[in-house]
Amino acid sequence: MSFASDVKKELTMLEVHPEHAKAELAALIRMNGTIDLVKQAVFVTIQTENAAIARRVYSLIKKLFDLKADISVRRRMKLNKNNVYFIRLNKEAKRILSELDILETMVEETNLPASIKENEQKVQSYLRGAFLARGSVNSPETNSYHLEIHSSTRVMNQDIFDMLEMFELNPKMHERKNGGYMTYLKEAEKIADFIGTIGANNGLFQFEDVRIVRDMRNSVNRLVNCEQANLNKTVDAATKQIEAILTIDEEIGLQTLPEKTQEIARLRLENPEASLKELGELIPEAPISKSAVNHRMRKITKMAEELIVS
């Protein structure tokens, strides 16, 4: 089972206050439902391939409205051939949509009313329903962090975007080439905040545990790589310095160098793996700085290059 499936399974088992549960059901119906108007009658069908979500929708309708919805199952004949669950609201559909405050937005495709969008707890519940209906999230063990919620209309997508902004989650929007819209999060911390906001605490702990270990491993790898690069740089520089010193010794002898330059040259030959800072600290009379050592080494390198050219 994927991480996203684990999170959704946890969400379908949450106990929620009835008023907040209405907001969750509103999202599930609005985002996974279709509405049919026959004369003055309203019919709604909610569709999902997730059995746990189908049970959640059915149980919320029964609990909140004391109504048993019609439910049926069909098997897809193409592609993945998964079961598809249909929950139908017939006689009481109009009343239920009205009590959920989504009748107008489903009929005329308008934005959600303030009764939902301006109530923080209802917004949390609506986002939970939206994620159950059309959401997905990458496992924190993958190479990139990504959480998204799809919407079939621009208006629906804008509502999701606004709600995520309400919790300062830095959402992004995208219009899909094959139709529909998407609001998504890319930052690990924001994804963790969202998972916690919609009530998936176990999912949040799992996400954070994996993320912390992964980030720590990456930090260690970066440090090791950085240290290795610095070591390679030091070794390469030291090799070139030794080659220059040996050239001078062979051509004119180290004794021809100024006393201080000669001293640092001999220290380099005796300590080929030492850094410039360490070489400066090895001078017995009075240790010198890294820049002073580098200055003397540049003189040695320049002298060797001139000797080679001549």
What is residue 297's predicted lDDT score, i.e. its pLDDT? Answer: 87
Examine the pLDDT at 209 and tell me if it is beyond 90.
no
Mean pLDDT of 299-306: 86
Mean pLDDT of 22-29: 96
Mean pLDDT of 251-275: 85
Examine the pLDDT at 174 and tell me if it is beyond 90.
yes
Mean pLDDT of 168-191: 92
Read off the amino acid at residue 84. V
- Two tokens at 46? 């909610």
pLDDT in tens, 61-91: 999 999 888 999 988 777 667 889 999 998 8
Mean pLDDT of 155-163: 96
Decide which of 27 and 217 is more confident.
27
What percent of the chain has a predicted confidence (pLDDT) above 70?
A: 99
Indicate the pTM of the whole model.
0.72
DSSP conformation class of 131: H
42 backbone dihedrals φ, ψ, rounded to 5°: -120, 130
Decide which of 165 and 68 is more confident.
165
What is residue 79's predicted lDDT score, i.e. its pLDDT? Answer: 67
CA 104 – CA 258 distance, rounded (Å)? 92
Strand order from edge to edge, sheet including 181-185: 135-137, 147-151, 181-185, 172-175
CA of 39: how far to CAs of 36, 43, 90, 99, 102, in Å? 10, 11, 13, 21, 19
Among 41-50, 53-62, 136-145, 225-234, the minimum mean pLDDT is found in: 225-234
Examine the pLDDT at 33 and tell me if it is beyond 80.
yes
